[in-house]
């Protein structure tokens, strides 16, 4: 991490080929991790990934995020109970054989990971925020950018992150003492992964495929996906 | 970029200190760029940053994003006109001296940058999406994660990105032919920057300061910002 102690002016120079490749490697080998080893996450590593998140861009420099670091097994058991209810609720909307496949997936590591992090967005932070008059939802967008910084920094640290989206916001607020006006944007599990899979789990399980890059690039104006590229 | 042609299994190994530092460097020296040089962005570089965006995590592997690449000067002039209207509208909500300071900021590089990219989210893509039953807004969240991948990849390429949020979604839809159900999440300017500033512009201009990291970290339960840390 020697570069981090260099003057910032040095850091703003061009990336050489190895440094560029490292950034792409973090992006391309990042995975949604649901299987963790029991090892602890060091306080230093945790602080570095949170600092990376805190360096995300935000509308009007609003920095609307907070990071609730949850280690308490009791709290995590309550979140897991909520997850289980939501998982069953979501299963009601699938028919077989998709339903059984869905219920067989391991989609969370709430108790396995040593640390959970709830990333919240406070829409009231900072008063009248520059650049947010036309699209007020850019506060939540900024918070998501922080999540991706955290995720990539964790990958570089050899740490895995899994995003648990099968949770009800109102209940999560109650469990973590989040006031009604604050949005729990992401609930993350952080820890040492069993491994980084070569492909996303839903791809290797045959659930869904990666779209061809050309299918999601539009020239000058919006275009629908080419027929057959979305299955 | 030699690493990118290695087998993926090699890539999933641990990051060494230099590779880790490169990821943090991209995160910490990324800036919202509004001043661009006239040089073109190569097709290869553009494709790499879009591919990085396309490798973002998405709820249920939904990949709800599309990337509208806009080069047409006529289209960009229409977007700039929209920006100017929105900028004046937003100025109505400031009193002096904040109002003059706001109007003096250069907040976009729509015509200066050779490429504009509108990143959209299609909430209908992929049918019944795994993990999206409880929090349907995770489609937009996923799209934001793609934006941050794009931003960091661009930084590693020596390219600057600026997010223009002073735009009205309904008008932007009309200009770019985006259907009503598709959300224009981000409007980005991409090009060779005049420079990467050492600090965010709004910080060096004295508009707002970076919050202390400890102010945004909460232990076990949500906590408000400490008094005085938000000005």
pLDDT tens sequence across A93-108: 999 999 999 999 999 9
Q: Same domain, yes or no, for A167 and A70?
A: yes
CATH code for the domain in which residue B92 is found: 3.40.109.10
Task: Identify which of B11, B61, B125 has the shortest CB distance to residue A29.
Answer: B11
DSSP string, chain B: -GGGGS-HHHHTS---HHHHHHHHHHHHH--B---B-SPPPPHHHHHHHHHHHHTS--GGG---EEEEEE--HHHHHHHHHHHHHHHHHHHTT--TTHHHHHHHS----TTTSSEEEEEEE-TTTTSS-TT-SS-TTHHHHHHHHHHHHHHHHHHHHT-EEEE---S-HHHHHHHHT--TTSEEEEEEEEE-BS---SS-HHHHTTS--PPPGGGGEEESS--PPPTTS--
Please state the domain count of chain A.
Answer: 2
Q: Is residue B223 one of the residues assigned to a domain?
A: no
In this prediction, residue B229 carries a pLDDT of 80
Residue A88: inside a domain? yes
Q: How far is B80 from chain A (nearest CA, A)?
A: 14
One domain, residues A118 and A222: no
For residue A215, give its domain range.
199-231
Residues of A in contact with B91 (CB under 8 A): none
Domain contains B210: no
pLDDT number for residue A12: 63
Please give, rounded to a whole number of angstroms, the shortest distance from the CA of B41 to a CA of chain A. Answer: 15
Q: With a cut of 50, which residues of chain A have pLDDT below it?
A: 1-5
A170 plus A137 within the same structural domain: yes
Which of A17, A23, A225 is closest, CB to CB, to B26? A23
Q: Do residue A207 and residue A138 come from a single domain? A: no
Per-residue model confidence (pLDDT) at position B6: 52
**Predicted pLDDT of residue B8:** 53
Provide the pLDDT for residue A13.
73
Between chains, do B163 and A4 touch, taking CB under 8 Å as contact? no
Q: Please list the ranges in chain B whose pLDDT falls under 50.
A: 1-5
Put simply, the answer to whether A153 touches B24 (Cβ < 8 Å) is yes
- The reply to whether A229 and A183 lie within a common domain is no
Residue of A nearest to B106 (CA): A131
A41 to chain B nearest CA, in Å?
Answer: 15
* pLDDT confidence of residue B13: 72
Q: Is A168 within 8 Å of B134 when comparing Cβ atoms?
A: yes
Verify whether the Cβ–Cβ distance A230 to B50 is below 8 Å. no
CB pairs under 8 A between A and B: 341
Which of B3, B47, B132 is facing A25, going by the closest CB pair?
Answer: B3
Distance to chain A for B37, nearest Cα, Å: 15
| Cβ neighbours of B54 in A, within 8 Å | 210-211, 213, 216
> Is A17 a domain residue?
no
Q: Element (H or E) spanning A200, and its range?
A: none
The reply to whether A193 and A210 lie within a common domain is no
For residue B200, tell me if it sits in a domain. no
pLDDT digits (tens, 9 = 90+) for A4-42: 445 555 556 789 999 999 999 999 999 999 999 999 999
Look at A15 and B120 and tell me if their CB atoms are within 8 Å. no
pLDDT of residue A123: 97
Decide if B177 and A65 are in contact by the 8 Å CB cutoff.
Answer: no
Q: Give contacts of A200 with chain B, Cβ < 8 Å.
A: 61
Residues A223 and A169 in one domain: no
**One domain, residues A57 and A131:** yes
- Same domain? A63 vs A133: yes
Say if B115 falls within a structural domain: yes
- Is residue A23 one of the residues assigned to a domain? no
Shared-domain flag, residues A146 and A50? yes
| Contact (CB<8Å) B25/A8 | no
Please indicate whether, in this complex, the C-beta atoms of B57 and A151 are within 8 angstroms of each other. yes
Query: Is B206 a domain residue?
Result: no
Residues A217 and A125 in one domain: no
Is the pTM of the predicted complex or chain greater than 0.90? yes
Do A45 and A142 lie in one domain? The reply is yes
């Amino acid at each position: 991490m020697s570069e981090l102690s260099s003057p910032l002016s040095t850091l703003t120079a061009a990336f050489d080929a190895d440094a560029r490749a490292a950034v792409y490697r973090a992006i391309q080998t990042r995975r949604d991790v649901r299987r963790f080893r029991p090892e602890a996450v060091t306080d230093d590593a945790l602080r570095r990934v949170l600092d990376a998140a805190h360096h995300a861009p935000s509308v009007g420099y609003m920095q609307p995020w907070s990071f609730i670091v949850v280690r308490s097994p009791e709290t995590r058991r309550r979140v897991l109970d909520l997850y289980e209810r939501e998982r069953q609720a979501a299963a009601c909307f699938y028919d077989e054989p998709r339903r059984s496949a869905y219920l067989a997936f391991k989609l969370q590591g709430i108790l396995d990971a040593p640390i959970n992090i709830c990333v919240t967005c406070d829409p009231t932070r900072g008063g009248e925020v520059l650049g947010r008059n036309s699209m007020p939802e850019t506060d939540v967008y900024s918070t998501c950018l922080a999540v991706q910084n955290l995720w990539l920094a964790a990958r570089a640290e050899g740490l895995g992150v899994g995003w648990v989206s099968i949770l009800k916001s109102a209940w999560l607020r109650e469990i973590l003492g989040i006031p009604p006006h604050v949005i729990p944007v992401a609930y993350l599990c952080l820890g040492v992964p069993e491994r980084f899979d070569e492909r996303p789990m839903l791809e290797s399980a045959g659930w869904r495929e990666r779209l061809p890059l050309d299918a999601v690039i539009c020239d000058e104006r919006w275009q629908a996906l080419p027929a057959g590229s979305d299955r």
